[in-house]
Amino acid sequence: MNEAREEALFSLANRWFVGSVTFTAALAIVSALVGLIILPRLQSDVVDLKGLWDSICSAAGVAARPSSETPVEATFVTSTVQLNPGRFAHPSAESIARGKAIARTCAACHGGVDGTRAKFPSPNLAGQPAGAIFKQLRDYQTGARVSVVMRQYVQALSEQDALDLSAYYAQARREAEPVRLGMREPPIVAIGSPTRNVPACGSCHGSGDLKIGTPWLDGQPVVYLRAQLAAYASGRRTNDIDKQMRNIARNMSSAEIDEAARYYASRP
Amino acid sequence: MINNSRLILAHFWLAFISFAIAIVLGAWQMLIRTPLHSSFGTSDWYFRSVTAHGSIMAYVFPTLVSMGFGYAISELSLKRPLAGVQAAWVGFFVLLAGSVIASLTISAGEASVLFTFYPPLIGNPLFYVGLVLIVLGSWIWVALMSINLRYWKRENPGKPVPLAMYANVASSYLWGWTALGATLELILQILPVAAGLRTTIDAGLARLFFSWTLHAIVYFWLMPAYIAYYTIVPRAIGGRLYSDTMGRVSFILFLVVAMPIGIHHLYTDPEVGAGFKFMHSTLTALVALPTLLTVFTICASVETAARLRGGKGWFGWVKALPWQNPMMLAVTFSFLLLGFGGAGGIINMSYQLDTSIHNTQWVTAHFHLIYGGAIVIMYFAIAYDLWPHLTGRELGNVALIRAQLWTWFIGIVVTTFPWHYVGLLGMPRRMAYYDYSNPTLSPQALSVVVSAVGGIVVVISALLFLAILWKGHRGRRVDPGVYRFSTPIYEPARPLVALHSYGLWLTLMIGLTAVNYGFPIIQMASQGHSVSAVYVGANR
């Protein structure tokens, strides 16, 4: 009765053991040989391989040498700001208070201290996510974003000042505008135009979702929004990451730019 | 009657109710993607729905069916009471709690990251906690299946392990090992970021871990269907299983080669070397082997049944088959759709051909065809077959059951065939909105509408299925008799230890996984390329 038990499985006498291990090992070895050695050699006309080890490294995804091509240098100053969600989380009360003191200078145009609103056509900063404010401040400082007016105000700000200002504005509230009739969300904001590679405005800038570093557009002046989209489209503004906004604005029609600007301006 | 019918019914009902919710969401998604739906809003609700649909269909529904069916197999095939009934209930409630937590988080719009997680997208930690609980609950089942088989072996030394239980335990081991990849991804990578302990994530490594789970999970979904092919279908249509050994070899092959193939989901991922993509492609091709063995064996078993019923000639026997029998219909539909789905799968697994369909609707259509067509229809058949034994009542109208299977088959064909076609035209997947007024997209509009109509037929069929089961609790009391699995034509004279144990096959499974995944994981983990997390739904 105990025949099955007596038969040793992990033994060279068991043909199932020998057969299956041989088959599996052969399979692994042959597929590795073809994948890691033979196929890369067959493609040596496109990949410059120096030998056996080189072909194995190449097929295993290890970069043997850095690319010889020199990267294209931008002809303008690019943004160097690194954004990280953790950086702006939980600011201290002290940081917010320091930010408020600095913000008194900004408030003349941008509002946001003691519930005030921005003076037309400057953007409202109260309630803006900290990452968005911080990025713009640093970009003005490095010259990645160009503004004759803003440059003089930001030059003296230290990194900590910029963080404090961002922390303050992120929690500040602005005076609500008198109630306006809400405009229906235009397609460009809700769904974008996928065939032209234009994502929905709302997926980053609010109404749908908000991504780190992107400003909240609700209640911003229509003139300001339109001017920024035009600046991106023409390439005058270049501090967006990976050309995101330049590519988007360039593919938007002027009617869509107008709709999006009016829609966001119409929101409280 | 089955002793643990309450336990098994709890698993089945939770499975089927969640399935019903998910399928209605799926049909709604198809409908709002068509040109029939002109009003637009943000895609937020669409992605909540896709996340819920995917999470239920991938993690909750098939796992519960496997668990419920597994407990039934253990009791019925080993002919001994299930050991660890309390632990089984604990597993069920852990899974239930996980499902509820994950569903609520998804509904609140806090986790619209789809069931595949897509890091660096990060949702609310509760979503991932819910999924981890689902896996933990199912691992209790994995342990119980193994323990029950061990007890039986101790009581029955030297006896052949019943094929149904052998396959069932193989399925549980496959799940135990394959679920590890996604679990590691969740615990080591995603949860710390979701909880705010870290703000960057190695998205490439996370995807690699997920691919560990993502393909073999499909074979875990398939397992109950394959178990039904071998151990229920031949008996239900009045025949015998052509080969018991072939069944065992098929399940062993699934165990060994289904696992180290997941990188074929990462063909366009630049972080994985082309050599490893080729190695995974080779093994993916090999997974066709157990399916071919199964198709051959089951067709031979079906032919045996037909000849026993007086079927004659080369093909004349097909007419003699019991076409009024729901099981006959189910296995026929399942095989037909498995054939089409498998053919599509060969395109997906080819490194070069994949580039033409990668990230298009073709892929979505493919896995709906395999899953809905070949697998879920067998889940229906399993439920129909077991129900009288679980309830002690007659299941009722056979014509209604046939209508349910027919509508399901037609619905799946109408849904998935045009869906494949628009994929070939280049329609991308994972999008909520398509502008059909654009001349490049307008030729796809008709196919998309036809596909959505198929989706509605599928929903009707699913609701009919639930109604039949529900009515089954109110049918006439009957004695369903002793439950029997199929008997093979030739009983094995002497059980071979290799075909009645798992040690060798698990060793090979782990060994092949190490060969195919070891280096890519070590390489990516040592490079430590991380990107900033993108939190979903966390802002206003």
Q: What is the pLDDT of residues A247-263, one digit of tens each?
A: 999 999 999 999 999 99
Q: How far apart are the first and last CA of chain A?
A: 84
Helix, strand, coil fractions of chain A, as percent rounded to 5: 55, 0, 45
Tokens representing B191 are: 């949860």
Tell me which of A2, A22, A31, A37 to substitute to probe the interface with B (most B C-beta atoms closer than 10 Å).
A31
| Same fold for the pair A88-171 and A187-266 | yes
Mean pLDDT of chain B: 94
Average pLDDT over residues B39-46: 74
B321 pLDDT more than 70? yes
Q: What is the CATH number of domain B5-535?
A: 1.20.210.10
- The pLDDT of residue B67 is above 90: yes
Alpha carbons A143 and B48: distance in angstroms, whole number: 41
| Mean pLDDT, rounded, for A20-39 | 94
Helices within B44-111 (DSSP H only): 44-55, 61-78, 85-107
Is B161 exposed, middle or buried, given 0-12, 13-18 or 19+ CB atoms closer than 10 A? buried
How far apart (Å, rounded) are the C-alpha atoms in residues B36 and A160?
54
pLDDT of residue B347: 94
Tell me whether strands B534-535 and B121-122 are parallel, antiparallel or unpaired.
Answer: parallel
Residues of B in contact with A84 (CB under 8 A): 199-200, 532
- Provide, as residue numbers in chain A, all residues whose Cβ is less than 8 Å from the Cβ of B427: none
Helical segments of B185-273, H only: 191-194, 203-214, 216-231, 233-236, 244-257
B65 near B224, Cβ under 8 Å? yes
Decide if B263 contacts B516 (C-beta within 8 A).
yes
The mean per-residue pLDDT over the stretch A32-47 comes to: 85
Is the pLDDT assigned to residue A69 strictly greater than 80?
no
For residue A1, pLDDT beyond 60: no
Q: Phi and psi for B360 in degrees, rounded to 5? A: -105, 175
Q: For chain A, what are the domain ranges?
A: 3-60, 88-171, 187-266
What are the sequence ranges of the domains in chain B?
5-535
| Secondary structure class of B30 (helix, strand, coil) | helix
**In this predicted structure, which of A178-192, B340-354, B521-535 has the lowest mean pLDDT?**
A178-192
Among B279, B504, B519, the residue with its CB nearest the CB of A20 is B504
If you average pLDDT over each of A104-118, A193-207, B254-268, which comes out highest? B254-268
Alpha carbon distance A227, A258 (integer Å): 10
Q: One-letter amino acid identity for B7? A: L
Tell me: the pLDDT tens digits for A168-200? 999 998 766 655 666 788 889 988 888 889 999
Q: Kindly determine whether residue A208 and residue B537, on different chains, have CB atoms separated by under 8 Å.
A: no
Tokens 């008799």 -> residue: B481
Residue type at A242 in one-letter notation: D
pLDDT at A178: 56
Per DSSP bridges, beta strands B200-201 and B121-122 are unpaired
Reported confidence tier of residue A88, pLDDT bands at 50, 70, 90? confident
Chain B residues close to A60, C-beta within 8 Å:
273, 275-276, 519, 523
- Could you tell me which CATH number the domain at A88-171 has? 1.10.760.10
Percent above pLDDT 70 for chain B: 99
How many Å lie between the alpha carbon of A7 and the closest alpha carbon of chain B? 7
Q: Kindly state the average pLDDT of the residues B489-502.
A: 87
**Inter-residue contact B178 to B224 (CB < 8 Å):** no
Res. A65: pLDDT tops 70: no
CA-based nearest residue to B11, from B82, B105, B80: B82
Q: Which residue of chain B has the CA closest to A215?
A: B539
Confirm or reject contact between A253 and chain B (CB < 8 A).
no
Q: Which of B287, B421, B388 is nearest to B342 (CA)?
A: B287
Q: Which of B100, B91, B96, B102 minimizes the C-alpha distance to B142?
A: B91
Indicate if B366 belongs to the active site: yes
Give the per-residue pLDDT at A177. Answer: 62
Return the structure tokens found at B249: 């070899």
- Predicted-complex ipTM score: 0.87
User: Identity (one letter) of the amino acid at A115?
Assistant: G
Position B263 scores a pLDDT of: 95
Asked if A267 has any chain B CB less than 8 Å from its own CB, the reply is no
Given the residues B53, B368, B420, B500, select the one marked as catalytic: B368
Rounded mean pLDDT, A52-75: 80
Closest Cα in chain A, distance from residue B277 (Å): 8
Selection from B139-148, B153-162, B259-268 with the highest mean pLDDT: B139-148
Is the CB of residue A219 less than 8 Å away from at least one CB of chain B? no
pLDDT, residue B107, reads: 94
Identify the closest residue of chain B to A56 by CA–CA distance: B275
Query: What percent of chain A has a predicted confidence (pLDDT) above 90?
Result: 56
Helices B274-286 and B503-527: crossing angle in degrees, nearest 10, is 160
Q: Is B121 helix (H, G, I), strand (E, B) or coil?
A: strand
Residue reference for tokens 């490294």: A57
Tell me whether residues B282 and A27 touch, CB distance under 8 A. Answer: yes
Q: In the annotation, is B11 catalytic?
A: no
Selecting among B11, B235, B280, B366, the annotated active-site residue is B366
Any chain B CB within 8 A of the CB of A217? no
Mean pLDDT of B304-315: 92
Predicted confidence at residue B38, as pLDDT, reads 63
Query: Cβ contact (<8 Å) for A31 and B283?
Result: yes
The pLDDT, as a whole number, for residue A2 is 45
For tokens 């099981």, what's the residue? Answer: B327
Average pLDDT over residues A28-35: 95
* Among B48, B248, B508, B539, the residue to mutate for chain A (most A Cβ within 10 A): B539
Catalytic site residue B12?
A: no
Nearest 5 degrees, angle CA B389-CA B392-CA B397?
85
pLDDT at B540 over 90: no
Tell me how long chain A is. 268
DSSP-derived letter for residue B236 is H
Cβ contact (<8 Å) for A195 and B441?
A: yes
pLDDT at A46 over 70: no
pLDDT tens digit sequence for B203-227: 999 999 999 999 999 999 999 999 9
Q: Which two tokens stand for residue A224?
A: 């300001």
- DSSP one-letter string for A154-214: HTT--HHHHHHHHHHHHH---PPPPP-PPPPPPHHHHT-BGGGTB--THHHHSSS-B-TTP
Report residue B197 as tokens: 């302990």
Quote the percentage of chain B above a pLDDT of 90: 88
Average pLDDT estimate for B460-478:
96
Is residue B358 part of the annotated active site? The answer reads: no
User: Of A191-205, B32-46, B71-85, which range is least confident?
Assistant: B32-46
Q: Residue A47 — pLDDT band, cuts 50, 70, 90?
A: low
Distance to chain B for A147, nearest Cα, Å: 29
Q: Which segment of B189-203, B318-332, B408-422, B488-502 scores lowest on mean pLDDT?
A: B488-502
* Tokens standing for residue A6: 């007596």
Q: Which residues of B touch A129 (CB under 8 A)?
A: 539
**CA closest to A2 among chain B residues:** B158
Per-residue pLDDT, A4: 44
Structure tokens, A59: 């097929």
CA atoms within 13 A on the CB side of B299: 11
pLDDT (tens digit, 9 = 90+) per residue, B392-413? Answer: 999 988 999 999 999 999 999 9
Instruction: Identify whether the C-beta of residue B500 lies closer than 8 Å to the C-beta of residue B161.
Output: yes
- CB spacing of A35 vs B278 below 8 angstroms: yes
Q: Indicate if the alpha-carbon torsion angle B109, B113, B117, B123 is positive or negative.
A: negative
* Contact assignment for B539 to A34 by CB distance below 8 Å: no
Nearest to B186 by CA among B206, B204, B213, B169: B206
CA B446 to centroid of chain Cα atoms: 30
Angle CA(B64)–CA(B75)–CA(B508) in degrees, nearest 5? 70
Whether B123 contacts B101, CB under 8 Å: no
Task: Kindly give, in sequence order, each residue whose CB lies less than 8 Å from that of residue B189, ignoring residues fewer than 6 positions away.
Answer: B119, B201, B202, B205, B206, B209
Rounded-to-integer distance, Cα B500 and Cα B170, Å: 11
> For A21-31, what is the mean pLDDT?
95
Burial B120-156 (b: 16+ CB within 10 A, else e): bbbbbbbbbbbbbbbbebbbbbbebbeebbebbbeee
Q: Residues A187-266: name the CATH superfamily.
A: Cytochrome c-like domain (1.10.760.10)
| Contacting A residues, span 129-148, partner chain B, CB-CB under 8 Å | 129
Cis peptide before A40 (omega within 30 of 0): no
